[in-house]
Amino acid sequence: MELFLMTVTTGIMVGGIYALVALGWVLIYKCSGVLNLAMGEMTLIGAYVSLSFYSMGVPFLLALAFSLVIGFILGILTERIFLDKLIGEPVLTVIMVTVGLSFFFKGTVEFIWGTDTQVFTPPVFSIEPIHIGPLIIGQVYLWSFIAAIVLLIIFVCFFKYTRWGLAMQATADDEMAALSVGVSARFVYAAAWAIAFMAAGVGGTLLGNINGLNISVSYLGLLVLPAVVLGGLNSVPGAIVGGIIIGVLQNLCGTYLDRYFPGAVKEIAPFAFMAIFLLFKPYGLWGWERIERV
């Protein structure tokens, strides 16, 4: 029973980090209807930027803040340089551009930082575990989960209570109505990419503290896709819940099934679950079908 509780608890904590990256997927899809297949590489870039600042002696929280600023700038530049001219083009065209961006970003990371695994030195979080009743929780998991939840709350408050956030929601719900009241679609798309870059970078940084950082972290972008689909591609709360569910599912499979099916069952399970789930809920838990009115 203790093993089960520890597995679920750790899964929830990792799921909170997944939810941050899932938020980036949802933002871009809500605003433009595009699945951004470069999300994993955006996660990788943000993580390496944080690591670079931390390696120069910058305190971790300040390094994280710097990575958020750089992520914001890179998100805007990416949208302006590569995607701005594609507004109104077929969705498939834009998706293929994001595929090209994923290779471009990965090549850039390999050129600048290499492919060897790097770690945060000295460790950001103490290796001494925390005892909560029968549970033994690593501090890196606990503090990473707390940081992820705090940032998720900040992002949700931004969407609900700020003028920019409301403009983004309005454009996502009805672009023509938003344009008619003076909301700039170009601004909304750029802001969506900027925030997605920020969220992905923080998620990558937190995961880098857990497992070390190398080029394989970019796989996180696809690993989070089942969480996004599960919650609903156009639902921010769904991204949060979906991330936690996938984190728990992945941990449970890794703990109980790896002994019987050694290999990649931990990575395969979320996609298998997504495929089965879509048979019953094609639009996810909180997603909805887009209806075109003529």
Mean pLDDT within 71-96: 86
The C-alpha angle with vertex 194 and arms to 191 and 200, in degrees rounded to 5, equals 135
**Cβ-based neighbour number of residue 287 at 10 Å:** 20
Distance CA 151, CA 272 (A): 29
Q: How confident is residue 288, by pLDDT bands cut at 50, 70 and 90? A: low
pLDDT in tens, 33-79: 778 889 989 999 999 999 999 999 999 999 999 999 999 999 999 98
In the predicted model, is pLDDT for residue 293 greater than 60?
no
| Closest CA relative to residue 22, chosen from 186, 246, 172, 209 | 246
Whole-model pTM?
0.86
Give pLDDT tens digits for 19-43: 888 888 888 887 777 788 899 899 9
Residue 292 banded pLDDT, cuts 50, 70, 90: very low
Q: Does position 14 have pLDDT exceeding 80, yes or no?
A: yes
Secondary element (H or E) of residue 135: strand 135-137
Burial class (CB in 10 A: 0-12, 13-18, 19+), 221: buried
Which is it for strands 130-132 and 135-137: parallel, antiparallel or unpaired? antiparallel
Among 146-150, 157-161, 196-200, 250-254, the least confident range = 157-161
| pLDDT confidence band for 231 (50 / 70 / 90) | confident
Distance of CA 253 to the CA centre of its chain: 21
State the virtual CA torsion across 214, 40, 43, 25 in degrees, nearest 10: -160
128 vs 106, higher pLDDT:
106
